[in-house]
Structure 1
Amino acid sequence: MISVTIEQLYAWMNGFLWPFFRILGLMATAPLFSESAISTKLKVGFAAALAIAIAPALGPMPNLPTASFAALFLAVQQVIIGIALGLVMRIVFATVQTAGEFIGLQMGLSFASFFDPATGSNTAVLSRLLNLVSMLVFLAVNGHLIMLSVLFRTFDILPIQVGSLNPNGWGVLVEWSSQLMVSGLLLALPLIIVLLTINLAFGILNRTAQQLTVFAVGFPITLLVGLILLTVVVPQITPFLTDFFDRGYEAMLRLTYRLSGA
């Protein structure tokens, strides 16, 4: 007859629950996994399968009663760590959407928007287009698998243990969020320069030939030039995105090191 003690039961439950909470936090915010098109049951099931797969490779877990307040605090801590790691990669895709906002504003397409179920708000059509392109590139370079491998590595850098996180780690997340504007502007800069030059030329034309209706002529020309430039620039952004993805993985590791106090 097989007998199981309460200590063994706690050890088995803790060996599954703590990594499960960290993985589930990543699933809530990370790109691709947090898409609303994926059902919540599928996300939870996938997180549970990953936790079961990696649990035997992890070190010993804290010996805590699963129903205690200490265990609840540890569970919340692991969820926060997973959410922070997912936000690092979410900023990468938010940067691409910001570039689309900049480009759409210069092209005169800022009024054209779609409802984005991922953010729950209206998103410019160019932001939606660039986000889909970046998502396809992310899948093509196996970015989702690399992101999960980085997550699994965080269990070695920041093992599951009772204690507080180093507050200096949150500074990494704040510093990384500055890429939202900097890299977004760099990605949109080629189109912004050309479109600003065209708008400047139309401004000079409006002063020299005031009988010409610049607004009626300028909008279709700006839109046409912007579309032509998009067909040239979009196929060339893959190196920029792959490099940005790599920097995102490094930021995830840097965040983990700082949270651990290393």
Structure 2
Amino acid sequence: MFEIAALDVSHWVARYIFPFARIAGLLMVMPLIGTRMVPQRIRLLLAITITFVVVPVLPPFIKVDALSLASIIIIAQQILIGIALGFAVELLTQVFVIAGQLIAMQTGLGIATTVDPSQGASVVVVSQWFLFMVSLVFLALNGHLVLIEILIDSFRTIPIGFDGFSVEQWGLLITWSGWMFAAATVIALPAIAALLIVNLAFGVMTRAAPQLNIFALGFPVTMIVGIFIIWINIGEMAVGFHLYMDTLFEFIKKLTVM
């Protein structure tokens, strides 16, 4: 009787440990919650809370001893799945960080840097401003709730077991990484095109009046034009982020049902 009771307890523990691994993997790397600004104890408590709420509605999965080698393999698979889902969302926010860096390099605003508390690295102020904007829009559109809903649905499309993401799914995630750079270029393209026109105008002025000190005049004018372009495009960037977020969730759904 003792052996049977011990095995039942092990299966009960495994039923909570496996979903917890996937949920914790997502919360570890997703935007906002997965940053250094959120203490690890808060993330751990949030993962435990979501696990206890979600487990009763999950479909049954294989019974494995919680202290066996097979259990360790399954836990590693679940952590990788959660990290992959969170990484896909993190790439969306990095689109605007890269776009901010491209704009800052073209406008001369790259000299203004600050420390990003979420990453502990020095970034340009424009990128940090874009990151704050998309983070607030992400929360305003309940993106974090939709992401948790997709995570819960993934337990049905990708059941807990020894099989994790396939090669096709990992390849799709790598393709999504390339999309990040293309999307950042599209966002920064209006500013780059406008500044190209400004530089062409300075080139014409240099040919027409060589005695003018274009280098002393062009730098502040370029910065002012860059700030003006960012100001008139900030609303379109928020709308673009909304569209990109819809694309992200469609991608995650496609990723989890392959």
Give the TM interval when normalised to the shorter protein: over 0.9
Give the number of the structure whose residues are more often helix, by fraction.
Answer: 2
In the alignment, residue 122 of structure 2 is paired with which amino acid? N
The within-5 A match list for 1:1-262 is: 5-163=5-163, 165-258=165-258
1:14–1:61 contact (8 Å) kept in structure 2: no
Alignment partners' CA distance in 1, 2:203 and 2:34: 45
Alignment partners' CA distance in 2, 1:237 and 1:189: 12
Identical amino acids, percent of aligned pairs: 31
- Structure 1 regions of 5+ residues with no counterpart? none
In the alignment, residue 111 of structure 1 is paired with which amino acid? I
Q: What is the TM-score of this pair, normalised by structure 2?
A: 0.95
Alignment partners' CA distance in 1, 2:39 and 2:119: 16
Alignment partners' CA distance in 2, 1:250 and 1:228: 34
In the alignment, residue 185 of structure 2 is paired with which amino acid? L
C-alpha distance after superposition, 1:64-101 (max 9, x if no partner)? 11111110111011000000000101110010111101
C-alpha distance after superposition, 1:24-53 (max 9, x if no partner)? 000111111112111000001100100110
Alignment partners' CA distance in 1, 2:104 and 2:77: 40
1:150–1:253 contact (8 Å) kept in structure 2: yes
* Alpha carbons of structure 1 residues 164 and 89: separation in structure 2 relative to 1, 3 Å: closer
Q: CA deviation at 1:117?
A: 2.8
1:10–1:63 contact (8 Å) kept in structure 2: no
Alignment partners' CA distance in 1, 2:39 and 2:85: 21
**What do you get for the CA RMSD once the two structures are aligned?**
1.5
Tell me the SS of whatever aligns to 1:114: strand
C-alpha distance after superposition, 1:236-260 (max 9, x if no partner)? 22221111011111111222223xx
In the alignment, residue 36 of structure 1 is paired with which amino acid? R
Alignment partners' CA distance in 2, 1:28 and 1:200: 47
C-alpha distance after superposition, 1:137-193 (max 9, x if no partner)? 101111111111111111111010123541111011111111221111111111111
Alignment partners' CA distance in 1, 2:163 and 2:156: 16
- Structure 2 regions of 5+ residues with no counterpart? none
Q: What is the TM-score of this pair, normalised by structure 1?
A: 0.93
Q: CA deviation at 1:119?
A: 2.6
Between the two proteins, the alignment pairs up a number of residues equal to 256
